[in-house]
Structure 1
Amino acid sequence: MSQKVYLGIDTSCYTTSAALLAEDGSLLAEARQILSVKPGRCGLQQSEMVFQHTRNLPRLVEEVFADKDCTLAAIGVSGYPRPLADSYMPAFLAGMSVARSLAAAYKVPLEVISHQENHLEAGLWSAGGPQAERFLLLHASGGTTDLLLCERREDSRYNLTQVGGSLDLHAGQFVDRIGVALGLQFPTGPALEQLAEQAEKPLELPVSVRKLDVSLSGPATAAMRKLEAGANAASLALGVEHTLAETFARLLRNGAAAYGVRDVILVGGVGSNKYIRKHVEEKLAKRRVRLWVPEGRFSCDNASGCAAVAWRLHKKND
């Protein structure tokens, strides 16, 4: 018997992805393709992102629907970076065009959310919480290091209000700047994490946190100077992880105290790092603040959050 399914599409700066949820909210299939970046480069132009997404997405949609007896019930797609009126990035047009076309052809609801909300929804779906009406979200990636207050609305969506974050470099930029200097392939997060596992102890780097504002340019400059001075690569990689972990822990501790919340959720590519998660969780536990983290593969860029919001908002109407 054909089952109803919920499709999610996300075309972020460096990953094309599609996901399919079943009627009970479980994952039926997901597929993703990291965009190709030439060795030694630290990014892509938006036009190149759009081209690669346009090329990748049809194949990924075909992959998630392959060999499935199903009926499309709703679609979720990320249409812009942040939930703000002026938030725009061409990369998301590729996903929007496919999602709108499918929704029109199959006459199903289309939920357009921001990429940041996609990360939130993926985190809630994968981690199973928090269930609180108010909690904090730290979105740490290559393009974002935002601390947001999340408040549940009557329509089951969330209001996201930025209350803190980085004043300069984003966490992923810090990781990639040092990773590329170490000769790692961009985006360097997974490779830097593997390199750090070889170190006995982290190289000491500064931590700059003032209330709900953090600075990562200073730690990045210090790391580059140590590398130029001949620092051990693995120890430096672990030092980058430790500095980010301590930065996040202090920021979340301060945020929880400022807004009187006991639940925080960590998402984004940098948030998938095991060392960082463990350190932050241990630090927050001492303040009786619970850290929620999605499964690692659903913390980095993926479309499960878009599929999850389509499922969550439309399953009751089926």
Structure 2
Amino acid sequence: MGSYYMGIDTSAYTTSIAVVDEFHKLMFDGRALLKVKHGDRGLRQQEAIFQHISNIPCIIDSLSNEIDISKIKTVSASVKPRNNKESYMPVFKVAQGQAFIISKIINSEYKEFSHQEGHIAAGVLGSNLINSEKFLAFHISGGTTELLLVEDNIRNYSIKIIGGTRDISAGQLIDRIGVKLDLMFPCGKEMDILSSDGFIVQKKIPINTYGTWINFSGAESFFYRIIEEKIYSKKDISNSVFFCVANSLANVVIQAIKLYDINDVLIIGGVASNTFLREVLCEKINKSGLGNVYFPIESYCTDNAIGTAFLGAVKDGEKTFGGL
């Protein structure tokens, strides 16, 4: 009888439960987006926690109708944003508590990972990086824009921040401009659709990078100004925001490839699903021969528990990817 591995992730805006089998095939992927009032730029932690607690029973009910729960060998949780002692966010306590309770009830193993490790694992799953022991990863989501040096260890990833943003994240820039354009938060998906029919504004867009670091606050002020001018359409502004983000990211990725002499770069997080960003990074890095940029499939970019479930299956005392 085969084994299943469950993962639970309760991030800032998504309740997620996933199950993979011993061959890392996805058996269940249940998610519920948290609801944000129109015009708001996010949720307070207590609001998010309440929605997570409300969502989990519904997802578990669907899971129990689709798979044999008795085959679950490990239940894993994303318990904090990053893999360091100081990292903490209240929403992840929901996943931690629910995963622990479930593991005890069904008499399975219980494991803990960080939300960032889950994103990395979801990106690695199905890519050529599954056998890589060292690579670069760019985590780009609603609250995070971090360039990472990743090494695969037996129990957890070794992750070192080597670049990213010094002020607001790429996701925050996108969402703040989107809300200013009267779009529903989070705004990335709608802006991606709008941008496909837009053009870059005929002004010098600020792209502020130095080494492996980015500043987006200047770009935020720039886009606020041109929105107030009411000259450009939402489509053109959306296209221009992604132009700014994509070229900023490309600049620092190229610098990191040269600085660390590592050619493989994994782009993870919700913003990694953006069409424009993928095209620019592939054009500037893959096609230029500077390195190899990998993207997860779109559904693996946004917050999910697939990577957490996968880690529960492979982080079991043996070498993770080299030994598969």
TM-score bin (small chain)? over 0.9
Q: TM-score, normalised by structure 2?
A: 0.93
Counterpart selection for 1:292 from 283, 291, 294: 294
Contact 1:127 1:295 in 2 (8 A): no
Greater shift after overlay, 54-63 or 128-137? 128-137
- Deviation for aligned residue 1:110: 1.6
Distance change >3 Å, CA 265–CA 202, structure 1 → 2: farther
Query: For residue 120 of structure 1, what is the aligned residue in structure 2?
Result: 120
Query: For residue 86 of structure 1, what is the aligned residue in structure 2?
Result: 86
SS at match of 1:265: strand
| Aligned mates of 1:304, 1:188 — CA distance in 2 | 23
SS at match of 1:110: strand
Give the % identical residues: 32
SS at match of 1:24: coil
Query: For residue 272 of structure 1, what is the aligned residue in structure 2?
Result: 273
Alignment of 1:194-273 (within 5 A): 194-201=193-200, 204=203, 205-230=205-230, 231-273=232-274
Alignment of 1:136-147 (within 5 A): 136-147=136-147
| Aligned mates of 1:28, 1:202 — CA distance in 2 | 45
Q: TM-score, normalised by structure 1?
A: 0.95
Contact 1:120 1:137 in 2 (8 A): yes
1:250-288 deviation line (CA, Å, top 9, x unaligned) = 111111111110100000111111110111111112143
Contact 1:203 1:235 in 2 (8 A): no
Contact 1:202 1:237 in 2 (8 A): no
Alignment of 1:144-223 (within 5 A): 144-153=144-153, 155=154, 157-201=156-200, 204=203, 205-223=205-223
Query: For residue 60 of structure 1, what is the aligned residue in structure 2?
Result: 59
Distance change >3 Å, CA 130–CA 308, structure 1 → 2: closer
Give the residue type in structure 1 aligned to 2:237: L
- Deviation for aligned residue 1:69: 3.1
| Aligned mates of 2:24, 2:263 — CA distance in 1 | 26
SS at match of 2:131: coil
- Deviation for aligned residue 1:45: 0.6
- Deviation for aligned residue 1:22: 1.7
| Aligned mates of 2:250, 2:3 — CA distance in 1 | 41
Alignment of 1:39-54 (within 5 A): 39-54=38-53
1:45-93 deviation line (CA, Å, top 9, x unaligned) = 1011110001101211221231323511111210001111111111001
- Deviation for aligned residue 1:315: 10
Distance change >3 Å, CA 34–CA 89, structure 1 → 2: same
SS at match of 1:169: coil
| Aligned mates of 1:265, 1:101 — CA distance in 2 | 33
| Aligned mates of 1:174, 1:115 — CA distance in 2 | 21
- Deviation for aligned residue 1:128: 4.4
Distance change >3 Å, CA 19–CA 242, structure 1 → 2: same
Matched, 1:99 2:99: yes
Distance change >3 Å, CA 73–CA 203, structure 1 → 2: farther
Query: For residue 313 of structure 1, what is the aligned residue in structure 2?
Result: 315
- Unpaired stretches in structure 1, ≥5 consecutive residues: none
Query: For residue 24 of structure 2, what is the aligned residue in structure 1?
Result: 25
- Unpaired stretches in structure 2, ≥5 consecutive residues: 319-324
SS at match of 2:125: helix
Q: CA RMSD in A?
A: 1.7
Question: How many residues matched?
Answer: 315
Contact 2:143 2:172 in 1 (8 A): yes
SS at match of 1:162: strand
Give the residue type in structure 1 aligned to 2:308: C
Greater shift after overlay, 120-129 or 178-187? 120-129
- Deviation for aligned residue 1:304: 0.4
| Aligned mates of 2:145, 2:49 — CA distance in 1 | 23
| Aligned mates of 1:145, 1:186 — CA distance in 2 | 18
Query: For residue 110 of structure 1, what is the aligned residue in structure 2?
Result: 110
| Aligned mates of 2:163, 2:290 — CA distance in 1 | 21
| Aligned mates of 1:69, 1:132 — CA distance in 2 | 33
SS at match of 1:298: helix
Contact 1:6 1:22 in 2 (8 A): yes
Query: For residue 282 of structure 1, what is the aligned residue in structure 2?
Result: 283
Give the residue type in structure 1 aligned to 2:243: H
- Deviation for aligned residue 1:227: 0.8
